[in-house]
Amino acid sequence: MAFLDSSVIIEYLDGTPAIIEAVDAEPLPHLTSSICVYEVLAGEVFSTGPADIERARQAFGRVDAVGFDEATAVEAARLQATLLDTGDPLSPRDLFVAATARSLGEPLLIADREFDTAGLHQLISIRHLDVD
């Protein structure tokens, strides 16, 4: 199973070969946070021309979204408290994504540097997929 950050989904949809290969090698199901669904769809909303939200969501339809609930909110608060102590706090959306992956016990697959902090690497499993 793979828990995908929005950066991975975007690179996958853009056809980045290394990302496609890495994600396709992961056993199903592929999961993401409902926060990441918004982040990917925001690209459609802010693109030129009329937004087709349904078509955009169908483009990554085999990725199941996990909601952000109270238990995950508590996990996010715990993570942020620890990250503040290490000097590596995260933005709220990134924190919610990391907490969701951690709550599920799944590694977080990323394709950008938003989650590459020493403090977070000590708390959750993160796999950085190269886009080159």
For domain 2-128, give the CATH superfamily.
Answer: 5'-nuclease (3.40.50.1010)
**Mean pLDDT along residues 32-46:** 93
Its pTM surpasses 0.95: no
Long-range contacts of 114-120 (CB under 8 A, 24+ apart): 114/5, 114/7, 114/90, 115/5, 115/90, 117/83, 117/86, 117/88, 117/90, 118/86, 118/88, 119/82, 119/83, 119/85, 119/86, 119/87, 119/88, 120/79, 120/83, 120/88, 120/90
Mean pLDDT of the chain: 93
pLDDT of residue 44: 83
Percent of the chain residues past pLDDT 90, beyond the cut: 83
pLDDT value of position 1: 86
pLDDT digits (tens, 9 = 90+) for 70-118: 999 999 999 999 999 999 999 999 999 999 999 999 999 999 988 988 8
Average pLDDT over residues 46-53: 83
